[in-house]
Chain A
Amino acid sequence: MIDEMVDRANADPVIRRQAHFVRLAFGLEAGPASWVIKIENGTVAAMPAGDNAPVPEFTLSADEASWADFALPVPPPGTHDVLALFEGGRLKISGEALPLMRNLMVVKAVLAKLRQKERA
């Protein structure tokens, strides 16, 4: 799931252009699984969270079912956006808010690549 997201993101010229100006590491948690997504030098990368991963500036955490709904081509109401999941109490945001809000456009664009047919 994450590898496909990264591949699709790196194949998108709009994300590549945005990523050229971004230096960000953020956490993504789906139930017990966790990754760090790094955006730097025009490239998106993902690695398991842990000793060898950068410290994430913020982390988005939800259960696997919520991310599965989010990744549907047409997600049901309340699961169609990370902020919708958050306001519905299904996603937790931890860490610093400013790096998230400063980079929200590119973060959402990358996460939209969880979908086969992505939507920003």
Chain B
Amino acid sequence: MTAMIEAVTGHYVHLEISGRSYRVYFEQAGEGIPLLCLHTAGADSRQYRAILNDPEILSRYRVIAFDLPWHGRSSPPDGWQNETYQLTTDSYMATILAFKEALGLERPVVMGCSIGGRAVLHLAIRHGKLFRAAIGLESHAGYDPLMHPLIADIGYLHRPDVNGQEAAAATVSGLISPLSPDPERWETLWHYMQGGPGAFPGDLYYYMVDGDLRNGLLSQLDTKICPLFLLTGDYDYSATVERTQEVLRQVPGAQFRLMPGLGHFPMSENPKLFMSYLRPVLEEIAEG
């Protein structure tokens, strides 16, 4: 008997980003239109494992997912032990563009979830001509969580007397739909439990502070240059449907797909259901 071996291949690419060297891990599969996938805060490219194994998508798309530096199998830079990681809009954009250039991706479709869903908005605003289309999963412009005043000063995700990995998983567990299958739910949480110390709160700096798009910039997003598709699950209490619709109101031409039964991690928590919402979008982009 021969064991099943996935067609996914993993590689390391060496990038120079803002004068620092990074060794970045990525996985890819398929042939055709490049589809660049961005993971959520505190996680890694394994969230896209199902898309990387979907024969129908791989017949038309080259799916590529990389781990941000400090995440998954991408190392932090030399000297990381002497600094506190913080993802900013500029550093995030520079990383994505450096990766795109290094792989020679010609006008890829970019798809991101949560912080990645915010990033596709920033990319479409700043660099829309470089992308064939943008797909935002659980995208919104920003919000002020009620939880923030309670937790602002305690740094519970990165302090010596708290298990940051379990705290991270517990923080996001309720963002997963109760309808999502247990194996996929716990795989998703496992990724959070494997995050490096400080990586998740460092990403949240972009999500909560630096990447806030409630500043009028969304009006500069031109969907004639970079078509925008927004897909949001109804169990997501962070990137709620209402918050996604606030983006829609500011971006003429953007398209919205409600994803009933899904939460904040659609591609990872319930890939089968998510794919039923994603396939028509990818088809429309491919034929557009």
Instruction: Determine if B146 and A80 form an interchain contact, defined as CB atoms under 8 angstroms apart.
Output: no
Instruction: Determine if A80 and B235 form an interchain contact, defined as CB atoms under 8 angstroms apart.
Output: yes
Instruction: Determine if B179 and A74 form an interchain contact, defined as CB atoms under 8 angstroms apart.
Output: yes
Question: With contacts A81-B237, A86-B146 known, is A101 near B178, CB below 8 A?
Answer: no
When distances are taken between beta carbons in the complex, the residues of chain A under 8 Å from B79 are: none
When distances are taken between beta carbons in the complex, the residues of chain B under 8 Å from A102 are: 156, 161-163, 167
Is B91 close to A, CB under 8 A? no
Instruction: Determine if B178 and A108 form an interchain contact, defined as CB atoms under 8 angstroms apart.
Output: no
When distances are taken between beta carbons in the complex, the residues of chain B under 8 Å from A101 are: 151, 154, 156, 162, 167, 171
Is B27 close to A, CB under 8 A? no
Smallest Cβ-Cβ distance to A93: which chain B residue: B150
Is A31 close to B, CB under 8 A? no
Proximity bits, B165-177, A CB within 8 Å = 1, else 0:
0110111011101
When distances are taken between beta carbons in the complex, the residues of chain B under 8 Å from A86 are: 146-147
Is B194 close to A, CB under 8 A? no
For the complex formed, measure the closest distance between the CB of A100 and the CB atoms of chain B, giving whole angstroms. Answer: 8
For the complex formed, measure the closest distance between the CB of A118 and the CB atoms of chain B, giving whole angstroms. Answer: 11
Instruction: Determine if B167 and A104 form an interchain contact, defined as CB atoms under 8 angstroms apart.
Output: yes
Q: Which of A77, A93, A105 contacts B235 (CB 8 A)?
A: A77
Is B75 close to A, CB under 8 A? no
Instruction: Determine if B174 and A82 form an interchain contact, defined as CB atoms under 8 angstroms apart.
Output: yes
Is A89 close to B, CB under 8 A? yes
Smallest Cβ-Cβ distance to A108: which chain B residue: B170
Instruction: Determine if A97 and B237 form an interchain contact, defined as CB atoms under 8 angstroms apart.
Output: no
Please count how many residues in chain A sit with their CB below 8 Å of the partner chain's CB atoms: 23
Instruction: Determine if B170 and A105 form an interchain contact, defined as CB atoms under 8 angstroms apart.
Output: yes
Is B86 close to A, CB under 8 A? no
Question: With contacts A83-B237, A105-B167 known, is A74 near B178, CB below 8 A?
Answer: yes
Is A42 close to B, CB under 8 A? no
With A and B bound together, what is the CA distance between A82 and B173 in angstroms? Answer: 10
When distances are taken between beta carbons in the complex, the residues of chain A under 8 Å from B53 are: none
Smallest Cβ-Cβ distance to B154: which chain A residue: A98
With A and B bound together, what is the CA distance between A102 and B151 in angstroms? Answer: 11
For the complex formed, measure the closest distance between the CB of A23 and the CB atoms of chain B, giving whole angstroms. Answer: 14
Instruction: Determine if A81 and B167 form an interchain contact, defined as CB atoms under 8 angstroms apart.
Output: no
Interface centre among A77, A82, A98 (most CB of B within 10 A): A77
When distances are taken between beta carbons in the complex, the residues of chain A under 8 Å from B147 are: 83, 86-87
Proximity bits, B139-167, A CB within 8 Å = 1, else 0:
00000011100110010100001110011
Smallest Cβ-Cβ distance to A120: which chain B residue: B173
Is B234 close to A, CB under 8 A? yes
Is A119 close to B, CB under 8 A? yes
Is A88 close to B, CB under 8 A? yes
Instruction: Determine if A97 and B154 form an interchain contact, defined as CB atoms under 8 angstroms apart.
Output: yes
When distances are taken between beta carbons in the complex, the residues of chain B under 8 Å from A81 are: 173-175, 237
When distances are taken between beta carbons in the complex, the residues of chain A under 8 Å from B234 are: 77
When distances are taken between beta carbons in the complex, the residues of chain A under 8 Å from B175 are: 81
When distances are taken between beta carbons in the complex, the residues of chain B under 8 Å from A83 are: 147, 171, 174, 237
Instruction: Determine if B178 and A75 form an interchain contact, defined as CB atoms under 8 angstroms apart.
Output: yes
Proximity bits, B222-247, A CB within 8 Å = 1, else 0:
00000000000011011000000000
Q: List 27 A-B contacts (CB under 8 A).
A: A77-B237, A80-B174, A80-B177, A81-B173, A81-B174, A82-B174, A83-B171, A83-B237, A84-B237, A86-B147, A87-B147, A87-B237, A87-B238, A89-B146, A93-B150, A97-B154, A97-B156, A98-B154, A101-B151, A101-B154, A101-B167, A101-B171, A102-B162, A104-B166, A104-B171, A105-B167, A108-B173
Query: Apart from A98-B156, A101-B151, A102-B162, what 5 extra A-B contacts exist at CB < 8 Å?
Result: A74-B179, A97-B154, A102-B163, A104-B167, A104-B171
A residues in contact (CB < 8 Å) with B: 74-75, 77-78, 80-84, 86-89, 93, 97-98, 101-102, 104-105, 108, 119-120
The 6 closest A-B pairs by CB, nearest first: A81-B174, A104-B170, A101-B156, A105-B170, A84-B237, A97-B150
